[in-house]
């Protein structure tokens, strides 16, 4: 199996053919056995469910790239704004350190990000309400206005899709998604790939 095919499998759990139906998988080009869609799982019905989850994840990632591009922002800046907007409904405030941890970026990169978004009028840094030496970061009214203007319709349609889930199935669906999220949070630290001997 080539490194390219392995990367597709690790990321998507499916072959390149499943993602782009008219493309030949690199294994076939290299004369190696083709990757099969059932690489990870037995065909007991769970594979189709997980494939749908992966399709949602791919669509979500592509949507975020399109939105960031359309708003002339990079994805990290957009993610930072989303974190700040979501945090306003929570009792805890967001510090630059909190933002760096959530975005998995360095302190220096966080400072540059905050400078950019403050200069564009999308966030402001204010003194921490309980720590005189601390700083909290909040989204501005301008940021809220622009985000609502661009994303309200999509979120309304997402709510409509969620509302079509039968009431008796909502808790199992919610629990399934929460368990998957918890599982993914526990994984990801893997050893580097090694050359064939």
Is pLDDT at 23 greater than 50 in this prediction? no
CB atoms within 10 A of CB 66: 10
Q: How confident is the model at residue 181, as a pLDDT? A: 93
Task: State the pTM of this model.
Answer: 0.67
Q: How confident is the model at residue 134, as a pLDDT? A: 86
Pick 20 or 68 by higher pLDDT: 68
Q: What DSSP element (H or E) covers 99?
A: helix 96-103
Is pLDDT at 127 greater than 80 in this prediction? yes
SS (H, E, C) 17-76: HHHCCCCCCHHHHCCCCCCCCCCCCCCCCHHHHHHHHHHHHHHHHHHHHHHHHHCCCCHH
pLDDT tens, residue by residue, 79-113: 999 899 988 877 778 999 999 999 999 999 999 99
Percentage of the chain beyond pLDDT 70 is 81
Query: Which residue is it, tokens 């760096």?
Result: 100
Is pLDDT at 11 greater than 80 in this prediction? no
Query: Which residue is it, tokens 């139906």?
Result: 21
* Band (30; pLDDT cuts 50, 70, 90): low
Residue 125: name the closest of 137, 110, 116, 117 by CA: 137
| Mean pLDDT value of segment 46-62 | 92
pLDDT tens, residue by residue, 76-86: 999 999 899 98
> How many whole angstroms separate alpha carbon 124 and alpha carbon 140?
7
Q: What are the domain boundaries of the chain?
A: 1-70
Is pLDDT at 44 greater than 80 in this prediction? no
| Mean pLDDT value of segment 126-152 | 88
């Amino acid at each position: 199996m080539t490194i390219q095919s392995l990367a597709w499998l690790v990321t998507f759990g499916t072959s390149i053919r499943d993602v782009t139906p008219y493309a030949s998988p690199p294994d076939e080009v290299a004369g190696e056995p083709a990757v099969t869609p059932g690489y990870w799982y037995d065909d007991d019905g769970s594979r189709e469910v997980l494939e749908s989850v992966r399709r949602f994840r791919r669509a979500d990632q592509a949507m975020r790239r399109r939105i960031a591009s359309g708003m002339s922002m990079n994805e990290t800046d957009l993610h930072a704004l989303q974190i700040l907007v979501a945090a306003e409904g929570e009792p805890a405030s967001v510090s630059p350190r909190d933002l760096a941890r959530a975005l998995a970026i360095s302190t220096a990169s966080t400072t540059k990000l905050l400078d950019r978004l403050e200069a564009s009028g999308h966030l402001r840094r204010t003194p921490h309400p309980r720590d005189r030496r601390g700083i909290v970061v909040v989204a501005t009214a301008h940021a809220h206005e622009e985000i609502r203007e661009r994303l309200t319709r999509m979120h309304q349609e997402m709510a409509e899709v969620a509302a079509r889930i039968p009431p008796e199935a909502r808790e199992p669906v919610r629990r399934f998604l929460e368990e998957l999220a918890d599982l993914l949070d526990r994984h990801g630290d893997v050893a580097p790939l090694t050359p064939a001997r």
